[in-house]
């Protein structure tokens, strides 16, 4: 576990030096500015709309972070050959991948927290009432979503080129958000065996989305948060295991 | 496993076929058999694309052989145990630019389960060995190619490895840098006399100066594997003899010992004075490429016939 921790620490330092990381920070600020502007323009339910936009900005940044950071972290190791000196030591490929994942998770959590604090600050400045519990729960669920997404990204990143990996990950994200809705509007889908398989493989991201609730200052039971945490753990384990198996079998040419 | 304690690398019937597209493939290495004895400096020689790096990457477990078996220090590859014996210097090593030389060595040391005072002492020793002590706290993005190469050698030595694997260690370096690395490899061999050094190169001069044994790969197949001395020993050895006659000094080139003995006896009977006899040593290039007998010095398992 010490080796995993060492790799996580290096990943953390790497991400803190990463320009894309700052770009995402800039994007978050832009989203925040945009939502404040929209809030000013909207007459009715100004505070709710503002908060909803802010949370949507955080969610989008979180998604981009999961996809692009995950891919960058792994592809840079493989393309620049940094990985050669790590894997020539007695370190398993799974430990390497886990170290990267945990380092990324830590920074991602930090980014969400920072954006949450920024949201709080901006809302306070504009006299928008925020219920701390609902904001915290919403951010926590976004973090869970980010972790599931990152583990899915790793499956694609260890097998595909950067562009294909990003596209595939975003498709899975879209499917994970829309399967529930699609099933409601199209009853025939429920009978389709392909749909059943797809539903079993692709996570349901809708259950982790409580932006609208948070915008209205509503919260959920902690028991439900616990269940969602368990759901996240199972998903992460499943997808990460698939990524690790795939990574340990592939040839490394670097 | 028939491997004994005198062998650090055992490659048995290893082939690697790369899939390059739908229904297309390329042979990386074909039916390779090689035994690297303990404590030897073995050079893996061959032109670009001959399978040198593929062989090294299979030994490290980066590439999986299509067929055959590889063992390192008695353990089957791939495994974490084999890598705990190995120090690896990749071709064109690159490091995360945001870290200093010292923090990188600390990171690699921790991956080898080293820590605390032991690790610090080892890092200080290695930085001194590779002449990077003055730049140890600088970020590696400011390092020259030669400094990066020396840092990469330091990371390969951090666990006092039993087997050092260097992939083209002199590649891309200027003559001075190459000389530095050559002398460093020589020093490493004297620091770790028990360790085997297995390195690839396509520069004959480097192999001739550093190695006790050489393996020649061509198109993924082993052509020759024997000791350098054995390879350079010629059946028709030449001698350059300086002889002083009554009038002048003559220099004669003689083929083989029989001709030399005959010439010496004639000189003696004529009363000429032999001032010097020089044995002309073949170069590795002559031995490998001009004799046309590459592959003749292999036995069936690919082990050298003559143990130095």
Mutate to test the interface with A, among B96, B115, B165 (most CBs of A within 10 A): B96
B88–A6 C-beta distance less than 8 A: no
Tell me the residues of A at the B interface, defined by beta carbons under 8 Å apart.
2-3, 6-7, 10, 13-14, 17, 80-82, 84-92, 249, 251-254
For A10, which of B93, B96, B152 is closest by C-beta distance?
B96
- Check if B198 contacts A (Cβ < 8 Å): no
With cut-offs at 50, 70 and 90, classify the pLDDT of residue B293.
Answer: very low
* Chain A positions in Cβ-Cβ contact with residue B111 (cut-off 8 Å): 3, 6-7, 86, 89-91
Residues in B touching A86 (Cβ below 8 Å): 108, 111
Residue A217 — very low, low, confident or very high, per pLDDT cuts 50/70/90? Answer: confident
A188: enclosing H helix or E strand: none
**Cα–Cα nearest to B135, from B115, B150, B157:** B150
pLDDT score for B1: 42
Using the predicted structure, report yes or no on whether residue B47 has a pLDDT greater than 50. yes
ipTM of the modeled complex: 0.84
Q: What is the pLDDT of residue B307?
A: 35
C-alpha to C-alpha distance for B158 and B109, rounded to whole angstroms? 6
Q: Counting every residue, how long is chain A?
A: 254
User: Does domain B7-232+284-290 match CATH 3.40.50.300?
Assistant: yes
Q: Does B157 touch chain A (CB under 8 A)?
A: no
- 3-state secondary structure at position A172: helix
**Taking 50 as the threshold, does the pLDDT of residue B22 lie above it?**
yes
pLDDT attached to residue A168: 94
pLDDT top residue among A122 and B99: B99
> Residue B282's pLDDT is what?
67
CB B162 within 8 A of CB B85: yes
| Average pLDDT over chain B, rounded to an integer | 82
Encode pLDDT of B239-254 as tens digits.
888 888 777 888 888 8
pLDDT at B298: 41
Chain A residues within an 8 Å CB radius of B87: 88
pLDDT of residue B16: 92
pLDDT reported for residue B165: 92
Check pLDDT > 70 for residue B5: no
Interface of B with A in 94-113 (CB under 8 A): 94-96, 98-99, 107-108, 110-113
B301 pLDDT higher than 70: no
Q: How far is A73 from chain B (nearest CA, A)?
A: 11
CATH topology identical between B7-232+284-290 and B238-280:
no
Mean pLDDT of B17-36: 88
**pTM score, whole prediction:** 0.83
Q: Do A10 and B152 touch (CB under 8 A)?
A: no
Choose from B61, B62, B157 for mutation: most chain A CBs within 10 A. B62
pLDDT at A35: 66
**Beta-sheet pairing, B196-201 with B41-45:** parallel
The answer to whether residue B288 scores a pLDDT higher than 70 is no
Count of beta carbons in the 10 Å neighbourhood of residue B287? 25
Q: What is the pLDDT of residues B166-198, one digit of tens each?
A: 988 887 778 888 888 888 888 888 778 888 899
CA distance B82 to chain A (A): 8
pLDDT at A136 over 90: yes
pLDDT value at B145 more than 90: no
Across the interface, of A7, A14, A88, the residue whose CB is closest to B83 is A88
Q: For residues B118 and A230, give the distance between their C-alpha atoms in angstroms, rounded to a whole number.
A: 42
Core vs surface per residue B120-157: b (16+ CB within 10 A) or e: eebbeebbebbebeebbeebbeebeebbbbbbbbbbbb
**The pLDDT value given to residue A235:** 94
State the pLDDT at residue B2: 43
Q: pLDDT tens, A90-121?
A: 999 999 999 999 999 999 998 899 888 888 88
Dist. CA B80–CA B82, nearest whole Å: 6
pLDDT at A55 over 70: yes
Domain spans of chain B? 7-232+284-290, 238-280
- Name the residue facing A85 among B84, B90, B159 (closest C-beta): B90
The bridge status of strand B67-72 relative to strand B7-21 is antiparallel
Q: Which CATH architecture has domain B238-280?
A: Roll (3.10)
Asked if pLDDT for residue B235 goes beyond 80, the answer is: no
pLDDT at res. A182: 76
pLDDT band at B234 (very low <50, low <70, confident <90, very high): low
Under the banding of pLDDT at 50, 70 and 90, the label for residue B289 is low
DSSP 8-state symbol, A10: H
Interface test with A, best of B78, B111, B149 (most A CBs within 10 A): B111
pLDDT digit string (tens) for B61-80?
999 999 999 999 888 888 88
Q: Please check the confidence at residue A148 and state whether its pLDDT lies above 90.
A: yes
Which tens digit of pLDDT belongs to each residue from A61-94?
899 889 998 999 999 889 888 899 999 999 999 9
pLDDT tens digits along A165-207: 999 999 999 989 887 777 777 777 777 788 788 878 889 898 8
Instruction: Say yes or no: B88 contacts chain A, CB-CB below 8 A.
Output: yes
**Per-residue pLDDT at A31:** 67
Burial pattern B98-111, b for ≥16 Cβ within 10 A else e, equals ebbbbbbbbbbbbb
Contact A252 B99 (CB under 8 A): no
CA–CA gap between residue B93 and residue B161 (Å, rounded): 18
Closest in A7, A88, A249 to B88, CB measured: A88
Of A234-243, B62-71, B262-271, where does mean pLDDT reach its minimum? B262-271
User: What percent of chain B has pLDDT above 90?
Assistant: 21
Whether B63 contacts chain A with CB within 8 A: yes
Q: What pLDDT score was predicted for residue B230?
A: 76
């Amino acid at each position: 576990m010490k080796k995993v921790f060492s790799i996580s620490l290096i990943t953390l330092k790497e991400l803190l030096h990463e320009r894309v990381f700052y770009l995402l920070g800039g994007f978050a600020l832009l989203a925040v500015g945009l939502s404040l502007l929209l809030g000013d323009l909207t007459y009715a339910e100004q505070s709710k709309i503002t908060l909803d936009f802010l949370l949507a900005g955080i969610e989008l940044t979180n998604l981009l972070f999961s996809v692009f950071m995950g891919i960058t972290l792994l592809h840079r190791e493989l393309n620049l050959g940094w990985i050669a000196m790590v894997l020539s030591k007695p370190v398993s490929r799974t430990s390497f991948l886990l170290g990267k994942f945990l380092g990324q998770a830590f920074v991602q959590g930090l980014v969400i927290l920072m954006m949450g604090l920024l949201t709080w600050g901006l809302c306070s400045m504009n006299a928008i009432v925020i219920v701390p519990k609902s904001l915290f729960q919403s951010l926590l669920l976004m973090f869970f979503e980010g972790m599931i997404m990152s583990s899915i990204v790793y499956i694609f990143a260890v097998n595909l080129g950067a562009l294909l990996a990003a596209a595939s990950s975003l498709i899975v994200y879209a499917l994970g958000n829309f399967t529930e809705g699609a099933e409601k509007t199209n009853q025939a889908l429920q009978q389709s065996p392909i749909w059943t398989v797809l539903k079993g493989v692709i996570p349901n991201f809708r259950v982790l989305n409580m932006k609208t609730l948070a915008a209205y200052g509503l919260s959920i039971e902690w028991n439900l948060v616990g269940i969602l945490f368990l759901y996240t753990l199972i998903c992460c384990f499943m997808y990460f295991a698939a990524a690790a198996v795939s990574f340990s079998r592939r040839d490394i040419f670097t | 496993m028939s491997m004994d304690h005198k062998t650090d690398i055992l490659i048995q019937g290893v082939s690697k076929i790369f899939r390059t597209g739908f229904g297309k493939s390329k042979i990386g290495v074909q039916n390779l058999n090689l035994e690297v004895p303990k404590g030897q400096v073995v050079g893996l020689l061959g032109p670009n694309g001959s399978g040198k790096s593929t062989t090294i990457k299979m030994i490290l477990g980066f590439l999986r052989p299509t067929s055959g078996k590889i063992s390192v220090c008695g353990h089957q590859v791939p495994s974490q145990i084999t890598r705990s014996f190995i120090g690896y210097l990749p071709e064109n090593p690159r490091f995360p630019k945001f870290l200093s030389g010292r923090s990188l060595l600390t990171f690699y040391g921790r991956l080898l389960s080293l820590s605390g005072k032991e690790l610090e002492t080892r890092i200080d020793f290695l930085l001194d060995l590779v002449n990077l002590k003055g730049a140890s706290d600088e970020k590696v993005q400011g390092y020259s190619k030669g400094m990066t190469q020396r840092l990469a050698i330091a990371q390969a030595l951090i666990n006092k490895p039993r087997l050092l694997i260097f992939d083209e260690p002199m590649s891309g370096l200027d003559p001075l840098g190459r000389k530095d690395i050559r002398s460093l490899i020589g020093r490493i061999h004297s620091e770790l006399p028990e360790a085997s050094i297995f390195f690839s190169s396509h520069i004959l001069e480097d192999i001739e100066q550093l190695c006790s044994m050489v393996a020649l790969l061509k198109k993924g197949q082993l052509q020759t594997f024997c000791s350098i001395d054995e390879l350079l020993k010629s059946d028709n050895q030449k001698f350059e003899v300086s002889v002083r006659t009554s009038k002048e000094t003559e220099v004669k080139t003689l083929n083989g010992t029989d001709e030399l003995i005959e010439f010496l006896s004639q000189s003696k009977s004529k009363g000429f004075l032999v001032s010097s006899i020089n044995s002309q040593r073949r170069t590795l290039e002559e031995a490998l490429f001009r004799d046309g007998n590459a592959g003749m010095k292999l036995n069936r398992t690919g082990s050298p016939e003559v143990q130095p």
